[in-house]
Structure 1
Amino acid sequence: MLMGTILLPVMDALAKYLTNTGELAPGQISFYRFALQFLFTAPLVVLVGGIPALRPKRPWLNLFRGGIIGVASLCFFTALKYMPVADTIAIFFVEPFILTALSALILREKVGWRRWAAIVIGFVGALIVINPSFARFGGVALLPLGTAALMAVYLLMNRALGRVDTPLVMQYVAGFGGSLLVGVVLLLATLVGGTENFAMSLPGGSFEWSILLVMGCIASFGHVLVVKAFQLAPVSLLAPFQYVEIVSAAIVGYLLFDDFPEPSKLVGMAIIVASGLFLLWRERRLGLHS
């Protein structure tokens, strides 16, 4: 889970870079991100399990899961065009709180007061990292919130579908479902006149293609790690570790865009990391005594 949350912000930063150059719109980046994920993972599925493995045991639910993350990606990459990486991810991080609540209500997972405390403390840290200002970002600030709700459902489905399908198969179908849905959105946007965020065109050159290929690799590998984590551990346990993504996002944002976090944001990041480490320590203690 930690490896996945460290890798995925790199993909987000590369998406922001492409939108900043003006070469690609957020909708195009979303489409290529999923199409390349599909192209990378499909041969691996065949290599591991043969042609029959290309058909998941729950195809429609897996396609629906791919559609969910497709819409989430459209929202998130559009927000990244206008907002700093760390700010966008910080607003997004109401998601672990939503996820833990859903795991308790829908999956009936037992969520003790220590896990709730770790979630709440991590959420407070996220609020310290950035105080979401709608006056500053306008309606764009709602996009990471929409992404958060969609991703909570997506991760919840990871837990349910992971019991019958492998992480690699799930990512192969998600790549297909995500690219299909985003492709339909781009086509409809083009037919009704299009917008600058959902324009359809090919990347301008080999440099843009190289970045997209790296994004596809990160998306494939990073999400396989996350799906595998959700196969092995309860949702409520993994949720706080997602806050580490804010820290890695801030580091990548500084390296690529010279966005250095303010002192208050560094305090928030410390709180986020501390909540995750506490939960890890707590679970290891429980494991030793079980």
Structure 2
Amino acid sequence: MGKPISGSAADNSDVSFGLTLMAIAVLIAPLIDIFSKLAIATIPSGQITAIRFTLQVLFILPVVALRGALFDLTWKKTALHALRGVLLVATMLSFITTLKVMEVADAIAIFFVEPIILTILGSIFLKETIGWRRYTACGVGFFGAMLVVQPSMQEVGLIALLPIVSAFTLAVFLLVTRLVAQSEDPWSMQFHAGIWGALFSAALLYFGEGTGSDVFDPVVPDALSLVYVLGVGVAATISGVLGVYAYRAAPASVLAPLQYLEIVSATLFGWLVFNDLPDALKWLGISIIITSGLYIIWREHRLNKTAGTAPVSPAI
């Protein structure tokens, strides 16, 4: 008869399991952007966003129904879910639109200022204490982002700033999520955010139809484009589900540094699919962003605060 597993051993096993799930989640996450970049060649970004949220709702509906959390809503929660849906639509629209002209790795690298923005917003709106060290790290991180943005702006223009817009809206989304997450089932949260995201996206497409906009005027996609959009939904669902269970198994402060693996897999996928690689200046900027972000996470962990965020892409 074997020895009983100690509580410490069980905890370590859970943390290891969570780390494994998170590593897989963030390595898969760039596939959302790869498929989006392939789809946006023929489908407007607004339509990709609408289909992606519709797939999210369809994929999660059976799980939420089985958990009995489908109608667990109050008017206050509904308003917050609607706000989260608007923020997610803004996040996806701005990021996917960027992918039409930017390399995936570059866009994701700029987008990784999101933890830095979240730190600053947390100090302003949640009154979290942020010392000079983390403020300095935030400034250094933004400098690194500018090293990536500056050559990208020369290549594609002001659209290179859209990943920063996307990072900002996601940071606000995460602040709102903190308010909702204290009292609601995570699957229900994702389901209702998906519903509102799909509704707002559909409304934008309704008013954009016939305008000729390459963002909001819907088209009839061909079979290959539908496969790409389906890939967006499947990759987002898998990555998101893995992320949910990873955060249940291990503390956020332990998992947060793994999010930067996404830049590695994004660079690899971008090279394999589009033959794109960042130049030396962009690599320098990416390195600075990663270093500053990891420092902020480490510092918050030291101060026993909640550190890190879910995977970069709002996958589910």
Shorter chain as normaliser: what TM range? Answer: 0.7 to 0.9
Question: TM-score, structure 1 length as denominator?
Answer: 0.81
Following superposition, the deviation at residue 144 of structure 1 comes to: 2.4
Task: Supply the distance in 2 between the matched residues of 1:264 and 1:152 (Cα, whole angstroms).
Answer: 26
Q: Structure 2: where are the runs of 5+ without partners?
A: 1-21, 305-316
In 2, are the aligned partners of 1:42 and 1:54 still within 8 Å (CA)?
no
Aligned mate of 1:73, from 92, 95, 101: 92
Aligned to 2:36: 15
Task: Supply the distance in 1 between the matched residues of 2:142 and 2:258 (Cα, whole angstroms).
Answer: 11
Identify if the C-alpha distance between structure 1 residues 138 and 98 changes in structure 2 by more than 3 Å, giving closer, same or farther.
same
Aligned to 2:272: 255
Q: Secondary structure at the match of 1:82?
A: coil
Aligned mate of 1:105, from 124, 140, 146: 124
Matches within 5 A, 1:44-55: 44-47=63-66, 49-50=67-68, 52-55=69-72
Aligned mate of 1:266, from 245, 258, 283: 283
Are 2:212 and 1:194 aligned?
yes
Structure 1 runs, 4 residues or longer, greater than 6 Å off = 237-241, 283-287
Structure (1/2) with the larger helix percentage: 1
In 1, are the aligned partners of 2:106 and 2:282 still within 8 Å (CA)?
no
Task: Supply the distance in 2 between the matched residues of 1:75 and 1:66 (Cα, whole angstroms).
Answer: 14
Identify if the C-alpha distance between structure 1 residues 232 and 260 changes in structure 2 by more than 3 Å, giving closer, same or farther.
same
Question: TM-score, structure 2 length as denominator?
Answer: 0.75
Amino acid at match of 2:99: L
Task: Supply the distance in 2 between the matched residues of 1:238 and 1:274 (Cα, whole angstroms).
Answer: 16
Amino acid at match of 1:110: T
Q: Number of aligned pairs?
A: 279
Task: Supply the distance in 1 between the matched residues of 2:288 and 2:203 (Cα, whole angstroms).
Answer: 41
Matches within 5 A, 1:108-257: 108-131=127-150, 133-190=152-209, 193-205=211-223, 207-223=224-240, 225=243, 229=247, 233=252, 244-257=261-274
Task: Supply the distance in 2 between the matched residues of 1:245 and 1:119 (Cα, whole angstroms).
Answer: 20
Identify if the C-alpha distance between structure 1 residues 200 and 285 changes in structure 2 by more than 3 Å, giving closer, same or farther.
closer
Amino acid at match of 2:32: M
Identify if the C-alpha distance between structure 1 residues 175 and 285 changes in structure 2 by more than 3 Å, giving closer, same or farther.
closer
Q: Percent identity?
A: 39
Q: Secondary structure at the match of 1:33?
A: helix
Q: Larger radius of gyration, structure 1 or 2?
A: 2
Q: Structure 1: where are the runs of 5+ without partners?
A: none
Amino acid at match of 1:210: V
In 1, are the aligned partners of 2:56 and 2:191 still within 8 Å (CA)?
yes
Task: Supply the distance in 2 between the matched residues of 1:101 and 1:286 (Cα, whole angstroms).
Answer: 16
